[in-house]
Amino acid sequence: MHGKIDTVELTACLPCLHRFAFSLTRNPDQAADLVQDTVERALKKAALFDGANLRAWLMTICRRIFLNDVLRNKSRGNTVEIEDAPSESVSVSAQQETQVHFKDVSRAFELLTASDKHVISLIALKGMAYSEVAEIMNRPVGTIRSRLSRARAKLVASVEMGAKAPRPTMLQAA
């Protein structure tokens, strides 16, 4: 099936591709545009598809389009919004410890490099295999394993450092 894309398989890859695009753009509209551009490019370049792993091939295309857009916008002098989400919009409920820990992990995750976030997102959050991530990122599997290990260690260290910092009391926060 060299050079031909199965539309049923392509359709099955769309939800995962959309989640991946959203993890890159952090914006639902930009993610939808990125998925559309990815599918369009994949269909135009179907002759280059080797038939092995459509999902990995699509994610590679998606990542390259995203990075090209970032570079293009950067060279134009435009600022690139990494997040459009409101900051600290989580309300505190009866499960305060869980929410505080989630906030600590979220803050620590945001302090990671883009590469570390990317590796953790693909493997730990999306459940992808090391080999798939290696193919997407065009790196050896061993490199992906070591990057994930270092990224996890940085995340844990950052959360632990944050836990040692004094939290404001009710009187200090007011």
Q: So what's the pLDDT on residue 77?
A: 61
Q: So what's the pLDDT on residue 72?
A: 82
Q: So what's the pLDDT on residue 100?
A: 58
Q: Is 83 exposed, middle or buried (0-12, 13-18, 19+ CB in 10 A)?
A: exposed
**C-alpha distances in Å from residue 157, one per residue of 32, 116, 119, 148:** 35, 14, 17, 14
Q: So what's the pLDDT on residue 37?
A: 95
- Mean pLDDT in runs of 10 for the chain (174 residues)? 78 94 91 95 91 91 91 66 46 52 77 85 84 89 90 84 53 45
According to the CATH classification, is domain 96-165 in 1.10.10.10?
yes
Q: So what's the pLDDT on residue 59?
A: 93
According to the CATH classification, is domain 7-76 in 3.30.1440.10?
no
Q: So what's the pLDDT on residue 173?
A: 45
Q: So what's the pLDDT on residue 43?
A: 92
- Rounded to 10 degrees, the C-alpha dihedral 78/83/89/92 comes to -150
Q: So what's the pLDDT on residue 19?
A: 94
Domain ranges of the chain: 7-76, 96-165
Q: So what's the pLDDT on residue 107?
A: 82
